Each structure stands twice: as structure tokens, then as C-alpha cells.
Amino acid sequence: MIDDDDEERGDTARQGLLDLMPMMYTAARIRELVEQSGLTQAEIARRAGLQRDAFGRYMLGKTRTPSKKLISIARVFGVPPSHLDPSRSELDEVAEANPAPVHDYTITPAAGAGMVRLEFSAELPIGVAAEIIEILTRRA
């Protein structure tokens, strides 16, 4: 015989599963986009302004992604936040109303130990561009 306590526990368990479903869906979408992007988790986290371990928790579905961070992750991939979490479609308007600053550079590991590849594009005064070229062409 099922009593009221059993029914209440069942309702609580069902609600817990329903709460986890969007989190797991979001994690799956993030993983899918990471694989498609070819970028490392560290690079995506950097571009989104997140700590690498926090991004890992969102990607694995261990933690629900806070709204601001969901918007940042969505921007990295060029998708609306609702693409990652359809239950939070209201964030699409927030993201559109507050465009992200443009980051026109990437840093990726290079073949040599302690080396990275820096790629960027910027409009600069000629003097600043000359200084950058001088720094980049110096031999240690």
C-alpha cells in the first residue's frame, strides 16, 4: 500500500529528474559544440571569460550554468543561449541587448616547448604596429 509519504517522495524524485534534464541537455549541447569547434576546452573557457574547471563542470552537467556564463559560452560558439538551454529562451534577448566585446586574437599551443601561436587582427596607429613588429622579430 502506498501512503502519502511515498507519493511525496516520488513527486520529489520526479521533480529532481526534471530539474536535471535541462542541465544534462545543456551539457550535451556544449560538448557537441566543443567537438565541432576544434578548440580546446581551455581556449573556449578563456574566450568565454571562465575558469577552465568551471567550464568543465558545465560541459559535464555537474553544475547548472549561471545565466551570464551561459550567454558567454553561447557567444563563443556564435549561437543564442536558447540553443544550449531551450528552457532559458529569455536569455536570447539579454544577449542581443548586451553585445560582447570583440576579441580579435587567438592563442594556441605551438610545437616548441613553452611556445604559443598568437594570431590577431587590429587597426593600429603605424607607430604601435612598428613596435609590435619589433617585439615579435627580436631574438632572445
Q: In this structure, is residue 114 part of a structural domain? A: no
Report whether pLDDT(140) > 60. no
Q: In this structure, is residue 115 part of a structural domain? A: no
Q: In this structure, is residue 18 part of a structural domain? A: yes
Total number of residues shown for the chain: 140
In whole angstroms, what is the distance from residue 111 CA to residue 32 CA?
27
Q: In this structure, is residue 104 part of a structural domain? A: no
User: What's the pLDDT score for residue 112?
Assistant: 79
In what helix (H) or strand (E) does residue 102 lie, and over which residues does it extend?
Answer: none
More confident residue, 120 or 55: 55
Q: In this structure, is residue 83 part of a structural domain? A: yes
Q: What is the pLDDT of residues 62-84, one digit of tens each?
A: 999 999 999 999 988 889 999 99
Owning domain of residue 89: 4-99
Q: In this structure, is residue 67 part of a structural domain? A: yes
CATH code of residue 10: 1.10.260.40
- Tell me how many degrees the CA angle 91-32-21 measures, rounded to the nearest 5: 60
Total domains in the fold of the chain: 1
Average pLDDT, the chain: 81
> Is residue 54 very low, low, confident or very high in pLDDT (cuts 50, 70, 90)?
very high
Range in 2-6, 22-26, 57-61 with the lowest mean pLDDT: 2-6
**Placement of cell 500500500 in the chain:** 1
Query: What average pLDDT does range 41-61 have in this prediction?
Result: 91
User: What's the pLDDT score for residue 101?
Assistant: 60
User: What's the pLDDT score for residue 111?
Assistant: 84
Kindly report the pTM of this predicted structure.
0.60
Q: In this structure, is residue 121 part of a structural domain? A: no
Q: In this structure, is residue 37 part of a structural domain? A: yes
